[in-house]
Amino acid sequence: MIMEFLFTILAALISIVALGLVSVIVFEAYRRSLNNAHVDAPAIFEDPKSLKQVPCPDIFDPAKKYLSLIIPAFNEEHRLPGALNETMNYLKKREAKDKSFSYEVLIVDDGSRDGTKRVAFDFVKKYGVDKVRAILLGKNHGKGEAIRKGMLHSRGELLLMLDADGATKVTDLEKLENQIHAVARKEHRGDSAACDTTFKISDIPIVAFGSRAHLEEKAIATRKWYRNFLMKGFHLVVLLTAGPGIRDTQCGFKMFTRSAARKLFTNVRLKRWCFDVELVFLCKWFRIPVLEVSVNWSEIPGSKVNLLSIPNMLWELALMSVGYRTQMWKINS
């Protein structure tokens, strides 16, 4: 009798906790359905040299640059300088070879508590506000929100997100770029599109995901056990949430045409680790071609992924599943 009573109490407690968790997920999904606007922060860049405010562009404005590079940064004062130096050296060399090539680098400081802001503004001062810009979110919102903010205020025909640690060589952007151009020509009017003056790469929605899938076997042998556990479990959950098609959703090296970025980043609601999975879901919804392109990648010390990331990832995937399956999260076309 006592055991039956204890079992009944335990079952009741589990039911209450489960019901409470489901209620919290549904409530948060509903709350986000009412407001998927990007975080409130002044849409202004400050020029450190003149201290003048520069009007912030919008993703719905016509492109003013060929390439925008968006780098989210949270407490990255030590890793950011090396990645930025490598990036700027590549961009300057490419600009010198091709006078039609134009670019901008956007550093989005996601509420850093170290010297990340100082590092960012040092590069703005060195290269000028037309080449390098810094957006300050004020407080930490998450990598997804930082990238979203950068995307929504970029000027490029092509928009590349890349991590602040420089884990992927910036030169690999040409692999993604070439694949996008090849598909865009076919999407437009066959190979003759290259000679068509009306052809604009920014007008054709295409996405290219940098992928480390080809390195997976080697990575399993060298990566820490909890990261392998996290990777395998995450792949399974992604398969159940967003469906098959992309082997590596989490590589921080992705390129978007302007029209693709406009559709995707005005709809993304997840703000942290799992926004990439939501991007895959939205690409399928909009029928945007997604290319998976192998890139060179190396693990850089200082990663913020750890065992504590698991609950947050599961939380976001649960929100996404409830939000879209119940149609609480409306998609703006």
Q: What DSSP letter does each residue of 58-119 carry, written as one string? A: -TTSPP-EEEEEEEEESS-TTTHHHHHHHHHHHHHHHHHH-TT--EEEEEEE-S-SSSHHHH
Identify the domain containing residue 311 by its residue range.
44-189+200-326
For residue 306, how many other CB atoms are within 10 A of its CB?
11
CA pair distance 181, 202, nearest whole angstrom: 10
Query: What CATH number does the domain containing 67 carry?
Result: 3.90.550.10
**Is residue 38 in some structural domain?**
no
**Is residue 27 in some structural domain?**
no
**Is residue 19 in some structural domain?**
no
**Is residue 95 in some structural domain?**
yes
Token pair for 157 = 């025909």
Instruction: Give how far Cα 291 sits from Cα of 25, 106, 175, 331, Å.
Output: 32, 24, 11, 22
Number of domains within the chain: 1
Q: What is the pLDDT of residue 62?
A: 94
Residues 210/250, Cβ–Cβ less than 8 Å: no
Q: What is the mean pLDDT of each run of 10 residues along the chain (333 residues)?
A: 65 70 69 58 65 81 96 93 95 96 95 92 92 89 91 96 89 96 82 60 94 62 60 66 70 93 93 87 93 81 61 81 86 84
CA atoms within 13 A on the CB side of 324: 20
What does residue 185 show for φ and ψ, rounded to 5 degrees?
Answer: -65, -40
Q: What is the pLDDT of residue 70?
A: 97
Q: What is the pLDDT of residue 211?
A: 86
Q: What is the pLDDT of residue 12?
A: 67
**Is residue 23 in some structural domain?**
no
**Is residue 20 in some structural domain?**
no
**Is residue 29 in some structural domain?**
no
Q: What is the pLDDT of residue 176?
A: 96
**Is residue 3 in some structural domain?**
no
Q: Are strands 103-109 and 132-136 parallel, antiparallel or unpaired?
A: parallel
